[in-house]
């Protein structure tokens, strides 16, 4: 999976895409006019009036979209390579785990590691106990 932006992205969308790629331990590609590869899965950050507003997951089989409002600022600094896991109630967390193609841990929140914590209405991205950013869905 590769994280990128739409063509001619705003600086906020680029910063968010880099932060998302770093958190998920995925490569970030500055797409520009480049077309997505047929055999690859792409997470494309879409924006509304210059602000990140969603992710479109494009693959050969289908296209899925996750709309959100970003709460707070993102830090685009690279994190250590670590694969995050998803936690939260199954009815809301399982679709998010499938969207990001990550393992679902159930409702238990581990004290250590990189976690995507899913609750009704929001998704928190937590690294070693520290919240990195929140998506309001």
Q: With contact defined as beta carbons under 8 Å apart, do 137 and 53 qualify?
A: no
Query: What is the number of helices (H) and of strands (E) in the chain?
Result: 2, 9
DSSP labels, 8-62 = S--HHHHHHHHHHHHHHT--B---TTPPPPTTS-EEEEEEETTEEEEEEEE-SS-
Question: What is the rounded radius of gyration, in angstroms, for the C-alpha atoms of the chain?
Answer: 14
> Model pTM?
0.89
Domain 2-68 belongs in CATH node 3.40.50.1820: no
Q: How confident is the model at residue 3 (pLDDT cuts 50, 70, 90)?
A: very high
Residue with the bigger pLDDT between 33 and 111: it is: 111
64-91: pLDDT as tens digits: 999 999 987 777 667 778 899 999 988 9
97-109: pLDDT as tens digits: 999 999 999 887 7
């Amino acid at each position: 999976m590769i994280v990128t932006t739409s063509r001619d992205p705003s600086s906020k969308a680029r910063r968010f895409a880099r932060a998302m790629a770093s958190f998920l331990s995925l490569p970030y590609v500055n797409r520009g006019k480049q077309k997505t590869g047929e055999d690859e899965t792409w997470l494309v950050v879409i924006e509304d009036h210059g602000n990140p507003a969603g992710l479109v997951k494009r693959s050969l089989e289908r296209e899925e979209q996750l709309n959100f409002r970003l709460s707070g600022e993102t830090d685009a600094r690279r994190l250590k390579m670590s694969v995050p896991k998803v936690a939260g109630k199954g009815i809301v967390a399982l679709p998010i785990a499938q969207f990001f193609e990550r393992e679902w841990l159930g409702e238990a929140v581990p004290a250590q590691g990189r976690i995507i914590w899913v609750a009704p209405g929001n998704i928190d991205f937590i690294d070693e106990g520290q919240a990195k950013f929140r998506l309001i869905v």
